[in-house]
Amino acid sequence: MKTLILILSFVMTGFIALSQTMVSYTWDTYKMKFEIPETFVEKANSSEKFEAADNDINLTIYPRKGENLSADGMIDALAGWVRDSKIENVSEMDLISDQLNGYWGIYQEGTKNGWPVFLMLIVDPDYPDISFYVWVSYRKGTEDTAVKMLVSFKPI
């Protein structure tokens, strides 16, 4: 019995070590918070783009001012971004309005150069003139971490 408990302890420790530790990131320029893996390295942070990545996941956010998108406008804008980015194996568009901590928006999944990707378009209803185009590409097997990032976005 002691051997079984010892083996289970080692196995559980291994699983815990493999999970990504997330840290909170605040993008002050746009009054936005989100979670990213602690292993991320920031590559760009300007009023035009935020980008951070590690070996498994890449996050890029492109804000656009002055779009004032309606629901139909968001659908058209995301469809255009997916098309222009040449995303393959595209899923149906999904609404995320009541699941995203104050933002409303839509997303699609697909693949680009063999990597799974999420493309999400979100808008803070308090500041509808700014749209955020969120790109997350990830290595297979890290979907849970990619989803944790996407659902962590919060206006501040």
**Domain CATH code at residue 45:** 3.40.1000.10
> Looking at the domain assignment, is residue 118 inside a domain?
yes
The pLDDT value given to residue 15: 43
The pLDDT value given to residue 19: 58
> Looking at the domain assignment, is residue 147 inside a domain?
yes
The continuous run of DSSP H or E covering 146 comes out as helix 143-150
> Looking at the domain assignment, is residue 8 inside a domain?
no
User: Could you report the per-residue pLDDT of 101-110, keeping only the tens digit for each?
Assistant: 889 899 999 9
DSSP 8-state class, residue 100: B
First to last CA, the chain: 51
The pLDDT value given to residue 8: 34
Q: Give the integer Cα–Cα distance in Å for 138 and 121.
A: 18
Q: What is the extent of the structural domain holding 100?
A: 21-155
> Looking at the domain assignment, is residue 90 inside a domain?
yes
Q: Please determine, for residue 99, whether its predicted confidence score (pLDDT) is greater than 90.
A: no
Number of domains in the chain: 1
